[in-house]
Structure 1
């Protein structure tokens, strides 16, 4: 069944689809009577069907299903942006794995550097990538793709309450090859409160510099190990997120 995101808010009844969604309906070759699932990002999803074809496509929304497929924690992936289309891939997979937010970062070794209008365009593009991933994977809440910023600026912007009490069993993790401690994820996750905010920081190609690692640690981040291998910039944050997601029992 096709899943489509609309800004909403949605309610039961007839709904004329906006032009960009109509193009999606055409690409999917949907016909009158075909079932649809729509969601507006406010929680749950709507079941309905197509009642008139493009170009003036209309759907009838029948019932709301209060289903959620989110992680029990709000995980922010703060990542040194990998170059080219690898950031697109990272955003897509982070959405599938349940990240609540992706914070693109510029670091000393970053290849990709963005500011101003160019940064806004890329953030909007990555938000569209996340939306498409939600439509595919079944999530009903869109992750936020933040504006790209410098690592030091982002660390300085974090409120003290976010970092307090982070410690060895804390909420702020730093993927640092060769420097981190092994984290027993099952025991660690069991001690976290539901809806707790978690931060996972990872570097770009070449990793974070020694000064950047020290800066993050002074801010309260704990270095964790993802194994003996050196992971790519787009792999490391996803490995950390997957380890967390694996601790959530299936519904």
Structure 2
């Protein structure tokens, strides 16, 4: 039986700990765990903390934490996903799958054809929701780090800050990405909105060093494209990279 993984924002170390909030609710109410059950805790520091439950209630979880270990689930490739915001649950899906695929950071973007407009209150609520989506995805997929989800910003502003070794923008008329003689340490992926980026935005991305990337003859939806693109990057330079390649800073 798989041991449940539960996130907590608390600092962890071997010994007895009492946790509250979502961790206690998830263990005691959602999973209906009891004293003696095993759980793996993580707080985003890159380590898993095996623990035995001493007491499980609806509002409080007491555990005995054992020695932590690195689960080895992080990619050697730092991937930043620049995702233009989409409506409904499409953005949630993109964040969930990007977390599962191993991205380091997610930058929600506003572009000319973006149909999402957030006032400060809505932005705060969406950020909180996106962070919880990422946490739940990390619990499920075995990651001990949670991607950083930045506050939304204008596409033009983000382009001026990107300095990743490889920069790619999804475009159905682009070229297939190919391996390199050296393995990059970081990649930035730019995914447009449901209506696509406009010509001026593609030009700005090109000026910022983004190469157009095609993922086959079909046009992918805005929430599907990052999954395919991240998987390709992980195959070429990340999770499945060959040990014989040099590394490019």
For 2:34 and 2:77, the matched residues in 1 are separated by 39
Task: Tell me if 1:192 matches 2:183.
Answer: yes
- Spell out the pairing of 1:131-210 with structure 2 (5 A cutoff): 131-156=135-160, 158=161, 162=163, 171-178=166-173, 180-184=174-178, 187-188=179-180, 191-193=182-184, 196-210=185-199
In structure 2, the partner of 1:29 is: 32
Aligned with 1:226 (options 215, 239, 246): 215
Show structure 1 runs of 5+ residues with no match: 164-169
Task: Tell me if 1:61 matches 2:56.
Answer: no
For 1:16 and 1:22, the matched residues in 2 are separated by 9
How many residues are paired up?
A: 235
In structure 2, the partner of 1:43 is: 46
Deviating 4+ runs (over 3 angstroms): none
For 1:16 and 1:153, the matched residues in 2 are separated by 43
In structure 2, the partner of 1:110 is: 114
Note the alpha carbon deviations across 1:87-125, whole angstroms, 9 max, x for none. 111110000000111111111111112242221221121
In structure 2, the partner of 1:166 is: none
Instruction: Compute the TM-score of the two structures, normalised by the length of structure 2.
Output: 0.90
In structure 2, the partner of 1:93 is: 97
**Contact 2:8-2:22 at 8 Å conserved across structures:** no
**Contact 1:115-1:148 at 8 Å conserved across structures:** no
Using the TM superposition, give the Cα deviation of residue 53 of structure 1 relative to its aligned residue in structure 2, in angstroms. Answer: 2.3
Aligned with 1:5 (options 4, 7, 17): 7
Report which stretch shifted further, 70-79 or 115-124.
115-124
Note the alpha carbon deviations across 1:199-245, whole angstroms, 9 max, x for none. 00010001100110001101111111111101101111221001122
Note the alpha carbon deviations across 1:17-70, whole angstroms, 9 max, x for none. 113221111210111111000011111111111111214320110121122311
For 2:144 and 2:61, the matched residues in 1 are separated by 22
Show structure 2 runs of 5+ residues with no match: 242-249
**Contact 1:134-1:140 at 8 Å conserved across structures:** yes
For 1:219 and 1:246, the matched residues in 2 are separated by 25
Instruction: Compute the TM-score of the two structures, normalised by the length of structure 1.
Output: 0.89
For 1:244 and 1:113, the matched residues in 2 are separated by 30
Report which stretch shifted further, 237-246 or 100-109.
237-246
In structure 1, the partner of 2:205 is: 216
